[in-house]
């Protein structure tokens, strides 16, 4: 039996996200871009400390398919650190890395063109035979993001409906995974990993709906439970989870390293270290120091002195390093007593003030019964849909089209 393989599994870095950030004078970068880069560096340092033998980056290096040269440089610096440590790294192409035009290069292809040592670009379905840092053999089957628009370049798919295209694409992915499993069986004594950037049925979505590009095809979990796989390394969904719920093989989303918005406020952020052994793989989630998001809701409707109550309650919250939004519920009679200046003085301890929302209790605002000003655009749209007499299928279809609008406005 070969030595156990220490696998470093990471995904969804999204370098270039600037939500809730400001210009950092020292670097010239947005402060939130620096947050994402620091978390990436922290994860790499921790993985090297734990003697990682191989790295699978499961897709979405950047915010979009056209990263600036600066973002490309910063990503490459960190990949080079893995390469210099002798850690083979597979870079799986995600939907944010993938060019929209058929046959155009992805934002990760440059690593393959330059033949960067110990670095492999997975831009198609294939089975890599890897020699890990300590010489252990490993098989890694790769499934980049299944892009529905690629089917439209073929005549036989052009007249299909959206639902039919999704079904066809799901069938193609399932066939490709089965073919890769058959190929991996030709070396039965070698551990095998499946790496894919896609949505798996049964996974719990985070708020990444607001940053996904286009429609999403959901692949059945059963497609990935073949006994040949000793670990399934996924990317695309930002919420860390084991889709297979403790069964073998582990089917793991490590989640993103940083929070995108307040929809991910309560989620743990980090990466996964797995000890890969044929039919005996174990894994551990490793948290990183992601920037906290904090929603403070204060109901001052019964306070005699609403400002005193608000300031006293704010003083009790850990504001340091956090991105904060404040939602104050007050009556119409109290509105004139609210003063943003002292509130902002206390909130200056925070890393960033996302919003200060006054939820004034007026009869005409009882429609939703929640403070709509504090909602993200996807949350607000879903709330609006809930007031309309439309089928769930129609809501899902409308939301798919709205995702492209959310992406354009990020």
Q: What is the pLDDT along the chain (410 residues), one digit of tens a residue?
A: 578 999 999 999 999 999 999 999 999 999 999 999 999 999 999 999 999 999 999 999 999 888 999 999 999 999 999 999 999 999 999 988 887 666 678 889 888 888 888 999 999 999 999 999 999 999 999 999 987 666 656 666 667 777 777 788 888 999 999 999 999 999 999 999 999 999 998 888 765 454 444 457 889 999 999 999 999 999 999 999 999 999 999 999 999 999 999 989 999 999 999 999 999 999 999 999 999 999 999 999 999 999 999 999 999 999 999 999 999 999 999 999 999 999 999 999 999 999 999 999 876 544 555 555 667 787 777 777 777 667 666 777 787 777 767 666 54
pLDDT at position 168 is 83
The structure's pTM equals: 0.83
Q: Which of these, 96, 142, 146, lies nearest to 121 by C-alpha position? A: 142
Please spell the DSSP secondary structure of 323-356, one letter per residue: EEEEEEEEETTTGGG--HHHHHHHHTTBSEEEEE
Dist CA 199 CA 211 (whole Å): 14
| Per-residue tokens: 260 | 């995108």
Dist CA 36 CA 273 (whole Å): 19
CB atoms within 10 A of CB 322: 22
pLDDT at position 372 is 59
**Strand, coil or helix: 15:** strand
Q: Order of strands across the sheet with 241-242?
A: 126-131, 137-143, 192-197, 231-235, 251-253, 241-242
What's 5-287's CATH class? Answer: alpha beta
Counting beta carbons within 10 angstroms of the beta carbon of residue 121, is it exposed (0 to 12), middle (13 to 18) or buried (19 or more)?
buried
pLDDT at position 76 is 94
pLDDT at position 283 is 98
Positive or negative, the CA dihedral 72, 199, 55, 150 is: negative
């Amino acid at each position: 039996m070969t030595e156990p393989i220490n696998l470093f599994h990471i995904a969804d870095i999204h370098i270039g996200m600037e939500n809730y950030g400001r210009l950092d004078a020292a670097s010239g970068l947005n402060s939130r871009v620096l947050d994402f880069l620091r978390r990436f560096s922290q994860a790499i340092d921790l993985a090297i400390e734990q003697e990682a033998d191989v790295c699978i980056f499961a897709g979405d290096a950047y915010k979009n398919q056209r990263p600036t040269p600066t973002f490309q440089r910063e990503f490459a610096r960190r990949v080079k650190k893995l390469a210099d440590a002798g850690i083979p790294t597979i870079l799986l192409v995600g939907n944010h890395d993938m060019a929209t035009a058929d046959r155009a290069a992805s934002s990760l292809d440059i690593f393959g063109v330059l033949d960067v040592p110990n670095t492999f670009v997975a831009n198609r379905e294939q089975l890599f035979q890897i020699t890990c840092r300590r010489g252990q053999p490993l098989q890694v089957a790769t499934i980049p993001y299944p892009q529905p628009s690629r089917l439209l370049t073929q005549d036989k798919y052009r007249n299909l409906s959206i639902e039919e295209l999704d079904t066809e694409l799901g069938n193609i992915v399932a066939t490709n995974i089965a073919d890769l499993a058959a190929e991996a069986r030709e070396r039965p004594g070698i551990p095998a990993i499946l790496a894919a950037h896609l949505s798996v049925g049964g996974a719990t979505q985070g708020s990444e709906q607001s940053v996904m590009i286009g429609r999403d095809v959901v692949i059945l979990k059963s497609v990935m439970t073949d006994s040949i796989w000793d670990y399934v390394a996924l990317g695309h969904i930002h919420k860390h989870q084991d889709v297979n719920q403790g069964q073998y093989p582990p089917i793991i989303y490590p989640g993103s390293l940083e929070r995108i918005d307040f929809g991910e406020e309560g989620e743990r952020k980090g990466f996964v270290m797995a000890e890969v052994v044929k039919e005996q793989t174990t894994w551990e989630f490793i948290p990183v120091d992601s920037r906290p998001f904090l929603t403070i809701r204060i109901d001052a409707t019964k306070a005699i002195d609403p400002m005193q109550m608000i300031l006293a309650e704010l003083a009790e919250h850990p504001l340091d390093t956090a991105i904060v939004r404040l939602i104050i519920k007050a009556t119409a009679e109290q509105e004139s007593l609210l003063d943003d200046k002292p509130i902002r003085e206390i909130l200056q301890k925070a890393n960033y003030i996302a919003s200060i929302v006054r939820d004034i209790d007026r009869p005409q605002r009882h429609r939703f019964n929640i403070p709509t000003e504090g909602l993200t655009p996807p949350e607000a749209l879903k709330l609006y849909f809930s007031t309309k007499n439309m089928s769930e299928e129609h809501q899902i279809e409308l939301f798919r089209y709205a995702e492209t609008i959310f992406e354009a406005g990020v």
